[in-house]
């Protein structure tokens, strides 16, 4: 709660114009870095993607600061079963156990109607064993 109060106080101090200038600078730096890592990709596409990533990251930070809820990161264990609510896969029909968790899920715990509920904000990205056609038995 104290962390959220400090964050809200800082948001009031910072001006919208200052935030936009800083976000643009960060998006430009990110685009330059991504251009080095992905030299074949079109520069305009990288710039648009970096602006979107920064905008979404700032929006998430603001909502996490304003929200009276707890956020936690959930990494899916290898060998676990597929859960549609928690995981995102490229397979149309995921079968078998989880081979590896590439990116963890973000889960929000909030009080609703007097009960503590967990809401998946961002699903975990996983690769299923069936996608690799490897027998781990």
117-126, pLDDT tens digit by residue?
A: 888 888 988 8
Cβ neighbours of 21 (radius 10 Å): 11
Question: Which domain range does residue 50 map to?
Answer: 2-66
Q: Is residue 119 part of a domain?
A: yes
Instruction: Write the Ramachandran bin of 85: left for phi over 0, alpha for psi from -120 to 50, otherwise beta.
Output: alpha
63-89, pLDDT tens digit by residue?
A: 777 666 678 888 888 888 888 888 888
Domain boundary among 66, 93, 116: 66
Same domain, 81 and 53: no
- Give the least confident one: 9-23, 29-43, 56-70: 9-23
* Single pTM value for the model: 0.49
Same domain, 86 and 123: yes
Total of domains in the chain? 2
């Amino acid at each position: 709660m104290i962390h959220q109060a400090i964050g809200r106080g800082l948001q009031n101090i910072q001006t919208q114009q200052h935030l936009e200038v800083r976000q643009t600078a960060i998006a430009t730096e990110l685009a330059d870095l991504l251009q080095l890592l992905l030299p074949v990709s079109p520069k305009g596409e990288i710039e648009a993607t970096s602006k979107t990533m920064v905008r979404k990251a700032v929006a998430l930070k603001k909502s996490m600061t304003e929200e009276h809820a707890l956020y936690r990161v959930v990494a899916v264990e290898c060998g676990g079963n597929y859960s549609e609510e928690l995981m995102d896969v490229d397979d149309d029909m995921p079968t078998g156990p989880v081979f590896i968790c590439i990116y963890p899920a973000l889960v929000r715990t909030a009080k609703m109607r007097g009960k503590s509920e967990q809401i998946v904000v961002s699903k975990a990205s996983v690769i299923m064993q069936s996608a690799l056609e490897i027998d781990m038995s």
